[in-house]
Amino acid sequence: MKTALVTGGSRGIGRAICLKLAGMGYFVLINYNKNAEEAEKTLLMIREAGADGELIQFDVADQNQVEQALSGWMSRNEGKYIHTLVNNAGIRMDALVMWMKNEEWNDVINTNLNGFFFITRFLIKDMILGKSGRIINVVSLSGLKGLPGQANYSAAKAGIIGATKALAQEVAKKNITVNAVAPGFIRSDMTKDLDETQLKAMIPMNRFGTPEEVAGVVGFLASDQASYVTGAVINVNGGLYT
């Protein structure tokens, strides 16, 4: 049984990804930072579906927490390694640049971009030794086209897209694929403050997407069927941006 780590796996898109991978036969590590109650719900849903996993708590933006938590898991699971990593954890702190505070810039960059780096760098060594692995980064429409009021978020996600393409070339010979999934407007906690009625008029499919639709693409990229797909950015946005 392969092990997958999903960061920010307690709710929304992260929860849907955890359930998808569990349904594919993965043992799923559900990362969360503060919301233990929602993370427990995700684990319960996985177990009710006949699969299994465990919770792993750390702040992706804190290098020490990342390395301590993952080192602890490895020491308790000798001989195993995390085969599939889904970098999903992220935050938004929207503001126009002229009014953006330093902490709004830094917190978004640290969680979204630095978090990707800390975790990926730590885990990729075992993937290389195992000569197999999947890294799937959940990015955003913002990282592709930019959105007003999201210069920090757009910069972070665009950074991950660039890193995805570079890293894919670094590790391809080791049978490790690195890809990104770029959701548009998806019904989740991150978009609950947006006016769906107004925004869906911009979307050719005339609706927001669901977390399960994003998870389906992640599941494909984690599967053997995607073994020749690397360095790709797959849009899940209803035709809003192509």
Residue 221 lies in a domain: yes
Q: What gap in Å lies between CA 197 and CA 5, rounded to an integer?
A: 34
* Domain housing 123: 3-236
Task: List the structure tokens of 143.
Answer: 């990282």
Residue 32 lies in a domain: yes
Q: Is the pLDDT reported for residue 190 higher than 90? A: no
Q: What gap in Å lies between CA 80 and CA 70, rounded to an integer?
A: 12
**Domain at 46, CATH number:** 3.40.50.720
Q: Is the pLDDT reported for residue 165 higher than 80? A: yes
Residue 80 lies in a domain: yes
Residue type, 140: S
Residue 241 lies in a domain: no
Q: What gap in Å lies between CA 196 and CA 208, rounded to an integer?
A: 7
Predicted pLDDT at 200: 85
Residue 120 lies in a domain: yes
Q: What gap in Å lies between CA 108 and CA 128, rounded to an integer?
A: 29
Q: What is the mean pLDDT of residues 83-95?
A: 96
- Residues 121-160 as b/e (b if ≥16 CB within 10 A, e otherwise) read ebbbeebbeeebbbbbbbbbbbbbeeeeebbbbbbbbbbb
32 belongs to the catalytic site: no
Catalytic residue among 26, 153, 228, 241: 153
Higher pLDDT, 10 or 189: 10
Tens of pLDDT, residues 19-65: 999 999 999 999 999 999 999 999 999 999 999 999 999 999 999 99
Q: How many domains does the chain have?
A: 1
Q: Is the pLDDT reported for residue 100 higher than 90? A: yes
Predicted pLDDT at 199: 84
